[in-house]
Structure 1
């Protein structure tokens, strides 16, 4: 019977090969090959058996990527962009030479500039009609640049146009550029227009500069460009419009006194960030890739500038701004959670805002406990949502609170530092319990082994600090003897807990701490203690080690955390 079964399998494999060769012949992927003659047993197979026989798909080669058309890239894309600059430089030098010779008066120069801008715009429109998009974009972009330079010369250099009129003309020029960019769906034109729009306040002569007008215009222009970029899917313009606002505002910050411009600066930043916040709700309608990251980055910039402008002042402006956004993002996250929408970015920013607010209002005694509590909540939310940004934010907050606690040791048994240590130990146990109930996560700092070891190590540090406080009035030998005894008893207690709970990993942790105690005695205690204390330390530690070994030799039922009986200690 076994031989017959093998013959049946071989015949089915022959049938598979024949069908594969026939398919290859049909696809012209292989030379024609005469099919294998079917055996008598194969001819007896029913059509259902032949149909159910497994078929291996033929290998399909990957399609080759098309080659880059360098002629198109250089001649039609970059050539006009480079040589429009050459043409503009030539016009400027020729114009300058004519002016130096006295042939062109100041009004004539402005008229020539307007004519050149109109000519370039008209010729660029012709290129668009003939489907030469790259050349048309460059020509009309150059037209906008010449128009802005002409208005600048007429106002700033020749004083032919007063400031209010020049501002209106600048706005009309920018509006024409934006209209043209939208009409041709050209991101290049919107970028050129954006650069000119941000420069308008610098191109107007003003005897008494007003920081509020300057900052307000820049913020409104930034929000307007961002709205246009979202509506017409200009992704690069969207991000550029957001970050470019900080350049003119930074120039304003450097050129004016801090007292005179800081509220105007903050108002502009808040206005832009409110615009960014409300635009983020358009994502289900108009998707904007990278918008959550921009929200987070924008809040970091906003809080950083607010701290720079107002930190150390008696006013609580910084606290109001940070706490206000923490409340806004907390409410938004709760709203999205109720309506089953993505709330991860709002939770991340709310966590960061609370973190910054706590750093500013709490003192050293209570800060660690607050940060550890906040970091634990943020980590648990990040584990639930599986969002890397939330996990990073929670991890930073948690580690900051833990480091703050470590650099501020306990000075009294009953103190805020002791309470913060209890919070830290409890939070580490909670996170470890949550991670043990989930599959292994792909993040290093969320490995179960790290958090399972964190609590015993942190508790050892906590006991060490408490012991140092309680033995502060004793001599050097007594303090080291008591601390080593505490460490040894702690190791034995862990071993006993592992035996009672039938957990091999817990017993190994106790053994590790027992050897750690031995290393402490050898490298820390021995060089400074007397000979009698050395004898007591070694006799006591040796007895504890032998007793622990005897406990581990007891016959115990199978452990809960091991896969086979061979992993258990032998009797």
Structure 2
């Protein structure tokens, strides 16, 4: 028995010795590799000398030995954000001064040519030739500055040259009639392509912004208040589409926003300074519709900076609707909204089946907004709150089921607009569309509370506060609605009858709230009902007593007192 135990212990010891020797060999190989990597050349591998010790001591000795022999490596400091101070002198002199004073130079050239022409020094042909020569001189200077690594100054000079070329061509066409519209259009295309070439070659968003600003401001720098509106609109639209393509291709977010805003500003200003008829307003509106169509198409096909594009598409749709109301007839507005809603519904269905989540969200919300504007345009004023309440409720519910917060936010906004219109509208009759709107509001409020709000992941205290606030608001609005309906029902009766019936309605409403609290086990409902009874008492004291006879006072106080005692008895517990 003793022999067996000894042999078993010996086998365990031999096994541990073998493992220790293997560990020593691995450690020495690792040391050799570290030595080579440290740049000290080769290190001969020495044969490990087995040392037989107890397993725990041996392992501790090996770890200590490896740690001692491990060459220490210098820890390189991690790359951190540069804390170098901003060179404001460089920022001012190399960045902003060229951008500001290139416009000063352009305006000075325009006014100088105008003054020289007024005094008879030069004729229109000389002015146009001088404009082109100065433009090419600016191009040469700009390329020369870029060659000598003065990038920002060179880019500004190139941008100014393109703007001056556009200015000269526009003046040559619209002011002096020296070339035809077709020739001017071709020249503008050439200058725009030249600006695109410079932007693409030197990868400069600032150059592109200078070009687009100069191109948009061409008609106003020369002071022209008239001209061919079709040519003007085509020119501005083509200019915008060109730079929209640039902003999407090179991910120029600033250019993307600048060009979109400038097109609207230029067209709006042009419509204010010129006396246009309805058809001419429609031409400008078509340019904005083209802008929105290309913005939406770019968002759906090229998601270069998705959040910025989505916000721009939303804003563009609202602005386009404003332009459509300004430039189109009633029938044209309806056609635009129906087509927009149909297109965006189709796009949302396509994006949904293609699992393009962001595109589906944006297109479906745009269809909801199109319906929102269509409701305002098509329905008569009394029906608008009712339809908006229905649309807002459906949008919130859709967002809850599909777990898209943007749908819910849009739905809540529409619902609150419908609610505000419902609460502020006068009720002309008991049975009226305004009464239906109130009933729809209460129904939609309760539906949204039970289907959406109640299941929100909120803290227990926050949810309780929200529940109390919602219950109080809904109860008070219900009291207000019953008061208006009761006044309408009793408007042909005497003052005594009106006060008596209204107080009775208040008491019955309070009892109904208390009964609901008992049935549902809601303390807040029971307490709210008691508050309504006290509110009825205040009404009796401050409004009914001065206006009714002694008999009606007695009936009111006896009735309210009896109801109060009955309620107290219900709450009483043995």
TM-score bucket (shorter structure): 0.7 to 0.9
C-alpha distance after superposition, 1:440-471 (max 9, x if no partner): 39999x94444333433333233333333433
What per-residue deviation string (whole Å, max 9, x for no partner) do you get for residues 193-232 of structure 1?
2234335667999999543343333323322321221111
Instruction: Please state if 1:240 is matched with 2:258.
Output: yes
The 1-side partners of 2:227 and 2:194 are apart by 27
CA–CA separation in structure 1 for the residues paired with 2:519 and 2:228:
76
- Number of the residue aligned with 2:291: 272
Aligned to 2:187: 169
User: In the superposition, relative to structure 1, how do residues 157 and 260 fare at CA in structure 2: closer, same or farther (>3 Å)?
Assistant: closer
Displacement of 1:156: 5.7
Change (3 A) 1:216 1:448: farther
Matched, 1:514 2:533: yes
Corresponding residue number in structure 2 for 1:326: 341
- The 3 A distance-change label for structure 1 pair 320 and 451 is farther
Q: Which position in structure 1 is the counterpart of 2:22?
A: none
SS in 2 for 1:245: helix
The Cα of 1:247 is off from its aligned counterpart by: 2.9
| Aligned counterparts, 1:133-144, within 5 A | 133-144=151-162
Find 2:370's aligned residue among 343, 346, 353. Answer: 353
1:222 to 1:152, Cα distance in 2 relative to 1, 3 A: closer
How does 1:472-487 map onto structure 2 within 5 Å? 472-487=491-506
CA distance in 1, matches of 2:101, 2:217: 24
Once residues 107 and 483 of structure 1 are traced to their aligned partners in structure 2, the CA distance between those partners, rounded to angstroms, is 87
Indicate the residue corresponding to 1:77 in structure 2. Answer: 95
Q: Which runs of 5+ in 2 are unaligned?
A: 1-58, 61-77
Q: 2:476 aligns to what?
A: 457
Q: Does 1:307 align with 2:325?
A: yes
Matches within 5 A, 1:390-405: 390-405=407-422
Helix, strand or coil at the partner of 2:491: coil
Match of 1:369 among 379, 386, 399: 386
CA pair 165-500 structure 1, distance change in 2 beyond 3 A: closer
Residue equivalent to 1:191: 209
Q: Secondary structure at the match of 1:316?
A: helix
**Matches of 1:461 and 1:538 in 2, distance apart?**
22
**1:511 CA displacement:** 1.9
The 1:166/1:406 distance shift into structure 2, 3 A limit, reads closer
Q: 1:488 to 1:130 in 2, by over 3 A?
A: same
Q: Whole-Å Cα distance in 1 between the matches of residues 413 and 185 of structure 2? A: 47
1:514-533 residue CA offsets vs partner (Å, 9 max, x unmatched): 22222322333233222222
> Which whole-Å CA distance do the structure 1 matches of 2:456 and 2:237 have between them?
46
Query: Which one has the largest radius of gyration?
Result: 2
Aligned residues: 494
Structure 1: how far apart are the matches of 2:233 and 2:104?
35
More helix by share: 2
Distance 2:392 2:423 in 1: 16
Query: How far apart, in 2, do the equivalents of 1:252 and 1:479 lie?
Result: 61
Label 1:449 to 1:469 Cα distance change in 2 as closer, same or farther (>3 A).
same
Structure 1 distance, partners of 2:351, 2:182, is: 46
1:128 to 146, 151, 159: 146
Q: 1:470 to 1:76 in 2, by over 3 A?
A: closer
Shift of 1:431: 1.2
Matched, 1:249 2:264: no
After TM superposition, the structure 1 stretch with the greater mean CA deviation from structure 2, 64-73 or 504-513, is: 64-73
Q: Is the 8 A contact 2:107 2:221 kept in 1?
A: no
Contact 1:377/1:394 (8 A) holds in 2? yes
CA drift at 1:88: 6.0
**C-alpha deviation, 1:163, in angstroms:** 4.3
1:102-153 deviation per Cα after TM superposition (whole angstroms, max 9, x unaligned): 9877655544443332232123223323432211111212222333344455
Deviation at 1:350, TM superposition (A): 2.5
Residue by residue over 1:245-274, the C-alpha shift from the partner in whole angstroms, topping out at 9 and shown as x without a partner, is 223322443314332313323322222211
**Which of 515, 537, 545 is matched with 2:556 structurally?**
537
Does 2:472 match 1:435? no
**Does the alignment pair 1:118 with 2:136?**
yes
Partner of 1:71, secondary structure, is helix
Separation in structure 1 between the aligned mates of residue 111 and residue 276 of structure 2, nearest angstrom: 39
What are the superposed Cα offsets for residues 289-333 of structure 1, whole Å, 9 maximum, x if unpaired? 4222211111111111222234xx5x5111121232223233333
Where in structure 1 are there 5+ consecutive unaligned residues? 1-45, 48-59, 555-570
CA contact (8 A) 1:435 1:448 kept: no
Contact 2:163/2:218, CA 8 A, preserved across alignment: no
Distance in 2 separating the partners of 1:206 and 1:494: 71
Query: Please, which moves more after superposition, 165-174 or 406-415?
Result: 406-415
Does the Cα contact within 8 Å between 1:84 and 1:138 map onto a contact in 2? Answer: yes
Which deviations, in whole Å up to 9, do the C-alpha atoms of 1:403-433 show, x marking residues without a partner? Answer: 3333444455444333333222110101111
1:266/1:126 CA distance change after superposition, 3 Å: same
Asked if 1:492 corresponds to 2:511, the answer is yes
Match of residue 416 from structure 1? 433
Distance of 1:196 and 1:326 partners within structure 2: 36
Q: Which residue does the alignment assign to 1:502?
A: 521
Structure 2 Cα separation of the partners of residues 92 and 204 of structure 1 = 7
Indicate if the aligned counterparts of 1:215 and 1:268 stay in contact, CA closer than 8 A.
yes
**Distance in 2 between residues matched to 1:451 and 1:84, nearest whole Å:** 60
Q: Are the structure 2 counterparts of residues 370 and 98 from structure 1 closer, same or farther at C-alpha, using a change threshold of 3 Å? A: closer
Q: Distance in 2 between matches of 1:377 and 1:163?
A: 52
CA distance in 2, matches of 1:243, 1:440: 40
Q: 1:299 to 1:526 in 2, by over 3 A?
A: farther
SS in 1 for 2:512: helix
